[in-house]
């Protein structure tokens, strides 16, 4: 028992002096990585090496760990959200997704560049041609995302956790409006070779998929976006008579995210309503 106490004592000493000296020696790295989290949550003084945990105010799929006086941002695994009661990531079905505040996070100025970076909460809004957006299913906070890095024609689009600052190009889209037809092309931000915006959201085999067409767009890559009355949401409708229907959030889990499909149009069904979140300029 006495030897165990000795080991415990040296373990505490290592935590206090080892971590503190490391933090002091890398203060600039800590600032760059954790400044936003520190401004969102004021961490209590570090005591006895025991971290405290807090919800991330603008995205319930994240949480903040206060340790050694620093606020560290973490992300929950896919299909889970932060549960403040249990202090762990929990299944979405059993944990309400609570946003603490609707205010945007504070502006962040780097001490090195003095450039200001702002982040916008994922709030859907009106759409316009030429705008760049993420496409989100608001009840679950899941976004349209190209499935895998190795892109090929016909690759599925899945629902995956939303990245509000548009840093994940796999879930960034540009709306191209045709005033003559009233339809949109929805183009992916991903590049093929040196060309960006050439991959299009297409309807293939009753699923939304990514496809690159030579020349003029095929009918399966043209979409009608209808506003849902009384909301900031839209249905995403494929007018091709053989593939027609609204994009639906199925809730069915696959190996990477959530399956999306095309079903008979019904704007009263929440799973067919999508929000367009404008990317920061």
Residue-wise pLDDT for 166-187, tens only, equals 889 999 999 999 888 889 999 9
223 is written with which tokens?
Answer: 């979409």
Residue of 94, 78, 234, 226 lying closest to 158 (CA atoms): 78
Q: CA–CA separation, 144 vs 229, rounded Å?
A: 22
Q: What predicted TM-score, i.e. pTM, was given to this entire model? A: 0.56
Architecture field, domain 132-278: Trefoil (2.80)
Residue of 38, 37, 43, 39 lying closest to 59 (CA atoms): 37
pLDDT 10s digits, 111-120: 444 444 343 4
b/e per residue 45-55 (b: at least 16 CB within 10 A)? ebeeeeeeebb
pLDDT 10s digits, 206-248: 899 988 766 555 788 899 999 999 998 999 999 887 777 999 9
Q: CA–CA separation, 15 vs 19, rounded Å?
A: 6
Average pLDDT over residues 77-100: 77
Class of domain 2-117: mainly beta
pLDDT 10s digits, 179-212: 888 899 999 988 766 677 888 899 988 899 988 7
Q: CA–CA separation, 251 vs 271, rounded Å?
A: 9
Banded model confidence at residue 136, pLDDT cuts 50, 70, 90 = very high
Banded model confidence at residue 164, pLDDT cuts 50, 70, 90 = confident
What integer best gives the mean pLDDT of the chain? 74
Average pLDDT over residues 255-268: 92
Residue ranges of the chain that CATH labels 2.170.140.10: 2-117
Antiparallel, parallel or unpaired: β 233-238 and 224-227: antiparallel
Question: According to the model, what pLDDT value does residue 41 have?
Answer: 62
Question: According to the model, what pLDDT value does residue 269 have?
Answer: 94
Question: According to the model, what pLDDT value does residue 65 have?
Answer: 81
Q: Which residues on adjacent β-strands are paired with residue 207? A: 204
Residue ranges of the chain that CATH labels 2.80.10.50: 132-278
Residues 109, 85 contacting (CB under 8 angstroms): no
């Amino acid at each position: 028992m006495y030897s165990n106490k000795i080991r415990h004592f040296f373990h505490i000493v290592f935590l206090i002096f080892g971590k503190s000296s490391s933090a002091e020696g890398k203060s600039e790295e800590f600032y760059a990585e954790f400044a936003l989290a520190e401004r969102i949550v004021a961490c209590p003084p570090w005591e006895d090496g025991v971290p405290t945990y807090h919800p991330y105010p603008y995205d319930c799929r994240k949480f903040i760990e206060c340790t050694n006086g620093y606020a560290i941002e973490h992300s929950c695994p896919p299909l889970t959200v932060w549960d403040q009661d249990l202090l762990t990531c929990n299944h979405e079905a059993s944990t309400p997704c609570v946003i603490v505040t609707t205010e945007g996070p504070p502006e962040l100025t780097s001490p090195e560049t003095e450039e200001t970076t702002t982040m916008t909460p994922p709030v859907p809004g009106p759409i316009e041609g030429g705008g760049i957006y993420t496409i989100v299913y608001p009840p679950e906070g899941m976004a349209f995302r190209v499935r895998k890095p190795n892109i090929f024609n016909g690759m599925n689009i899945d629902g995956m956790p939303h990245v509000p600052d548009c840093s994940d190009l796999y879930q960034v889209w540009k709306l191209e409006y045709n005033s003559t037809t009233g339809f949109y092309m929805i183009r992916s931000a991903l590049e093929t070779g040196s060309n960006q915006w050439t991959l299009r959201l297409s309807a293939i085999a009753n699923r939304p998929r990514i496809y690159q067409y030579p020349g003029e767009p095929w009918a399966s890559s043209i979409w009608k976006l209808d506003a849902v009355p009384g909301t900031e949401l839209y249905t995403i409708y494929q007018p091709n008579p053989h593939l027609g229907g609204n994009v639906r959030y199925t809730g069915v889990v696959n190996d990477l995210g959530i399956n999306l499909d095309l079903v008979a149009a019904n704007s009263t069904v929440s799973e067919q309503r999508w929000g367009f979140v404008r990317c920061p300029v």
